[in-house]
């Protein structure tokens, strides 16, 4: 018996130009390779969080991580993946001095694949090949994303996994195999950056069938959830094993991020007893990096004391209810504010950073207003609803857990496609959702 295809095959007249997609994958890789090795000094970029990930990957490789060192601040998934890559480099006989190059080459390859995925999903959603080409080309050279890929950061796994997973979900057309694959990739994105779990409801809303498709039941949701939960459960079990049962889940930093955001803390010094060893962490949220009047806080609680930090954050709400209003104003930093990492040795940041900041800000604003345009046209494709939902949920997450330009980068592809749907109207989509228009 023939197996069902992973991705539903569209009619002949709507098949995707895969050769052009391949060209975008290659072009995206070349742009990243050129930037990383011609415009930066990779070894000079191993500072702050990047150095933390890199050192933990080496300790993981050597089996020397002890106590809470491997998970107190950063989710373990990325440095475990890095340790696996370094083990492969070691087995292949690659000298340690080249291991960083191998890591950045992986970043470039994943970034190029993400560019190809943007081309695929833009073609499916916008249904105008020229517009899809433009969106993919713009994404391929979006400087903040290319810039980030020169650094040893978890986003360089999370963002490609999210983009490719979204493309799989859209291309699956509610067929189970493609949804399982998309859910698994979404699970990888969330494992690398647990904050992306805020985006899961958008995928659930997309696959839960409306009334006119009620005959399908909840099978699409079960397929998506099966792929997602399989990855999340396996990673959680691995984290529990690595931490000796202390870490149950993907990470334990949500309370810390909530506290830092709601109490406007510029610097937190955490000094605590870690099984007889004095552990020290200095945490400086980029959101408030340029605001020296914000408070510095010292605590003897570890960064993973979630309940404690959630209580402290809620206390700030009670003491200053205006914080909730200020949170709305802070959202501006998603499109125009401090950016981590800010390392002088990375070329182009001074010139290209502001230019693409304006571009991303404009695309995000247009995308945010897109439902008004869609309503006027009396039709909105379910795919656009999913992409717009990713943007909306990113804003909601930023309200509670921090607004910084880096946090918007995972959904820039959604902003580009939604904005393009407003600027260049697409032909009506078969299966689009009718929206009543006021007389």
* Coil vs helix vs strand at 274: strand
Using the predicted structure, report yes or no on whether residue 331 has a pLDDT greater than 50: yes
- The residue-averaged pLDDT of 119-148 equals 94
Q: What percent of the chain has a predicted confidence (pLDDT) above 70?
A: 90
Query: Which token pair is 310?
Result: 């959630």
The whole-number average pLDDT for the span 246-254 is 91
Domain ranges of the chain: 17-252+335-434, 254-303+305-322
8 A C-beta contact, residue 380 and residue 374: yes
Query: What pLDDT, on the 0 to 100 scale, is given for residue 347?
Result: 84
Tell me what the mean pLDDT of segment 327-341 comes to: 91
Q: Does the pLDDT at position 1 exceed 60?
A: no
pLDDT of 4 over the 50 cut = no
| Angle 407-361-394 from CA coordinates, rounded to 5° | 35
Q: Given pLDDT bands bounded at 50, 70 and 90, which one contains residue 3?
A: very low
Strand, helix or coil for residue 298: strand
Percent helix, strand and coil across the chain, each to the nearest 5? 65, 5, 30
Rounded mean pLDDT of 293-303? Answer: 94
Contacts for 363 with CB less than 8 Å, ≥ 6 apart = 412, 415, 416, 419
The residues, ordered by sequence, that sit 6+ positions from 23 with a Cβ below 8 Å of its Cβ are none
The pLDDT score that the predictor gives to residue 439 is 29
Q: pLDDT digits over 363-384, tens only?
A: 999 998 888 777 766 556 788 8
Given a contact cutoff of 8 angstroms between Cβ atoms, the answer to whether 173 and 124 are in contact is: no
pLDDT of residue 433 exceeding 50: no
CA distance 347 to 39: 5
**What integer pLDDT is reported at residue 428 of this predicted model?**
59
Please tell me the predicted confidence (pLDDT) of residue 379: 58
Confidence of residue 270 (pLDDT cuts 50, 70, 90): very high
Band (65; pLDDT cuts 50, 70, 90): confident
Answer yes or no: is pLDDT of 432 > 50: no
18 or 184, greater pLDDT: 184
Q: What is the pLDDT of residue 376?
A: 64
C-alpha 429/C-alpha 52 separation (Å) is: 47
The region of weakest confidence among 97-111, 222-236, 243-257, 407-421 is 243-257
Name the pLDDT band for 322 (thresholds 50, 70, 90).
Answer: very high
Concatenated DSSP letters of 96-108: GGGHHHHHHHHHH
Backbone phi, psi, residue 153, to 5°: -135, 150
Report the distance separating Cα 105 and Cα 73, nearest Å: 26
- Is 50 exceeded by the pLDDT of residue 434? no
CA–CA separation, 188 and 158 (whole Å): 7
341 φ/ψ sector (left φ>0, alpha ψ -120 to 50, else beta): beta
pLDDT (0 to 100) of residue 404? 92
- CA dist., res. 315 & res. 332, Å (int): 24
Report, as an integer, the average pLDDT of 41-56: 93
Peptide bond into 269 cis (omega under 30): no
């Amino acid at each position: 018996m023939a197996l069902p295809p992973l991705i539903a095959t569209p009619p002949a007249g709507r098949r995707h130009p895969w050769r052009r997609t391949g060209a975008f994958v290659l072009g995206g890789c070349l742009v990243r390779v050129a930037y990383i090795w011609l415009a930066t000094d990779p070894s000079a970029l191993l500072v702050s969080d990047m150095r933390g990930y890199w050192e933990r990957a080496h300790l993981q490789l050597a089996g020397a991580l002890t106590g809470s060192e491997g998970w107190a601040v950063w989710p373990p998934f990325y440095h475990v993946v890095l340790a696996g890559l370094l083990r492969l480099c070691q087995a292949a006989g690659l000298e340690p001095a080249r291991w960083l190059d191998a890591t950045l080459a992986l970043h470039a390859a994943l970034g190029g694949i993400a560019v190809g995925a943007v081309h695929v999903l833009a073609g499916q959603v916008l249904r105008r090949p020229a517009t899809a080409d433009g969106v993919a080309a713009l994404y391929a050279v979006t400087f903040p994303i290319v810039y980030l890929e020169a650094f040893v950061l978890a986003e360089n796994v999370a963002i490609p996994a999210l983009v490719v997973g979204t493309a799989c979900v859209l291309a699956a057309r509610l067929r189970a195999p493609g949804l399982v694959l998309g859910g698994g990739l979404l699970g990888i994105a969330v494992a690398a950056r647990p904050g992306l779990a805020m985006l899961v409801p958008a995928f659930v809303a997309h696959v839960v069938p409306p009334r006119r498709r009620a005959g399908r039941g909840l099978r699409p949701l079960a397929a998506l959830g099966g792929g997602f939960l399989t990855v999340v459960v396996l990673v959680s079990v691995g984290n529990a094993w690595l931490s000796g049962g202390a870490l149950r889940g993907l990470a334990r930093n949500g309370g810390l991020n909530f506290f830092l955001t709601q109490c406007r803390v510029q610097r937190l010094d955490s000094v605590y007893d870690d099984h007889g060893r004095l552990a020290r962490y200095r945490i400086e949220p980029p959101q408030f990096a340029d605001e020296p009047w914000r408070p510095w806080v010292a605590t003897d609680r570890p960064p993973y004391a979630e309940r404690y930090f959630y209580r402290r954050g809620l206390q700030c709400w009670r003491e200053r209810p205006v914080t909730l209003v200020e949170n709305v104003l802070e959202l501006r930093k998603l499109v125009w504010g401090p950016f981590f990492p800010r390392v002088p040795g990375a070329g182009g940041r001074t010139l290209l950073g502001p230019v693409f900041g304006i571009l991303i800000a404009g695309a995000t604003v247009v995308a945010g207003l897109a439902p008004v345009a869609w309503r006027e046209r009396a039709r909105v494709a379910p795919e656009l609803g999913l992409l717009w939902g990713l943007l909306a949920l990113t804003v909601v997450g930023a309200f509670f857990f921090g607004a910084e330009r880096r946090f918007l980068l995972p959904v820039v592809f959604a902003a580009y496609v939604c904005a393009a749907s407003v600027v260049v109207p697409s032909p009506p989509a078969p299966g689009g959702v009718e929206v009543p228009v006021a007389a």
